[in-house]
Amino acid sequence: MNALSNFQILIVDDEPALCRMISDILRDAGFTYMLTAQSCAEARRQFAEWRPDAVLLDVMLPDGDGFSLIEELRRGRDVPILFLSARDADEDRLRGLGLGADDYIAKPFLPRELVLRLTAVLRRAYADRLKCADGLLRLGATTVDWASGTVSRGGTQTALTAKEYALLRKLADNRGHIVTIDALCYAAWGDENFGYENTLMVHIRRLREKIEEEPSRPRYLLTARGLGYKLKREDS
């Protein structure tokens, strides 16, 4: 599995057609989870709700500008942010980088250039996460092998289904933090995630049967009632 496919990218641009085009470019490159927003207000909501791993941000937006928005987003969480802007004057580039942007890409851009520069930023920002992307997840006496998609405990090995793998990976990537029901449904079912809340509960129950010593009294895969689920850290 391409490790980069697990990253969730928020695309902020006031042109829906451009958002779709960028989503298609990233999907062709192996990315799986893309969110889009056409305004500052929508970007704030998506950023808070979905907790993306990186943001592609336009400068000119209908209800503000990317220069102001990046400062707001940075106060919430420190994630990689790349500007995608038709404003390619030196002063705009310097301003964007001075505000903490990880890169500044001028429109129009080559699809391959966008992918390479985004990938480079992700590899720098998430080096540890990518290093163990095909490694092991340890939950007490339980070991999850990402490469083989199997769970081992007490000499017994069981395989994760594709949905279980996607859900557990999303929880592991955000270990120690609550992952919302919507975000988990998106991780497992993509854009067609509406109405899967009850199915999600079934998958969570089956996951607990595989990773927990006492599934009815989970120690690691915890419920955040009304919000979602959290994979507990060892030292929590």
Distance CA 110, CA 139 (A): 43
- Which pLDDT band, with edges at 50, 70 and 90, does 146 fall under? confident
Q: Tens digits of per-residue pLDDT, 91-113?
A: 888 888 888 899 999 888 999 99
The predicted pLDDT at position 210 comes to: 95
Q: Outline which parts of the chain fall under CATH 1.10.10.10.
A: 136-231
The predicted pLDDT at position 95 comes to: 86
Closest CA to 22 of 114, 123, 155: 114
- Which pLDDT band, with edges at 50, 70 and 90, does 128 fall under? low
Q: Outline which parts of the chain fall under CATH 3.40.50.2300.
A: 3-129
Asked if the model's pLDDT at residue 42 lies above 80, the reply is yes
Q: Tens digits of per-residue pLDDT, 158-169?
A: 999 988 998 999
CATH architecture of 3-129: 3-Layer(aba) Sandwich (3.40)
The whole model's pTM is what? 0.65
Tell me the mean pLDDT in the region 36-50.
93
- Which pLDDT band, with edges at 50, 70 and 90, does 88 fall under? confident
Mean pLDDT of the chain: 88
The predicted pLDDT at position 193 comes to: 65
Which one of 3.40.50.300, 1.10.10.10, 3.40.720.10, 3.40.50.10140 gives the CATH number of domain 136-231? 1.10.10.10
Closest CA to 34 of 17, 13, 55, 14: 55
Element (H, E) at 48: helix 40-50
The two tokens of residue 26 are 């990233």
Are 53 and 34 in contact by the 8 Å Cβ rule? The answer is no
